Amino acid sequence: MAYMITDQRVHDREFGNLLEIRDNFPKIVVSMDEITGGKFKGIRHVNIKDFLVAD
């Protein structure tokens, strides 16, 4: 979880760590960013509010 993905350094830190894990479990970066969604190399990026109310 990251507070905000403010620059490339933070993006690389948050997503890069998950890219190192070699398994088939879903990977999600949760942040307070208002604009999220989509995927980066298979890793989902979601807003914390959406994450907490998701099924």
Q: Is residue 45 a part of any domain in this protein?
A: yes
Reading the block at residue 5, the tokens are 């993905």
Whether 28 shows a pLDDT value over 90: the answer reads: yes
Q: Is residue 3 a part of any domain in this protein?
A: no
Q: Is residue 36 a part of any domain in this protein?
A: yes
Average pLDDT value for residue range 17-39? 89
Q: Where in the chain does DSSP place strands (E)?
A: 28-31, 39-40, 43-47
pTM, rounded to two decimals: 0.80
Q: Name the pLDDT band for 16 (thresholds 50, 70, 90).
A: very high
Count structural domains, the chain: 1
Structural domain span for residue 18: 8-53
Distance separating alpha carbons of residues 45 and 28, to the nearest angstrom: 6
Q: Is residue 37 a part of any domain in this protein?
A: yes
Q: Is residue 2 a part of any domain in this protein?
A: no
Q: Name the pLDDT band for 1 (thresholds 50, 70, 90).
A: low
Whether 29 shows a pLDDT value over 90: the answer reads: yes
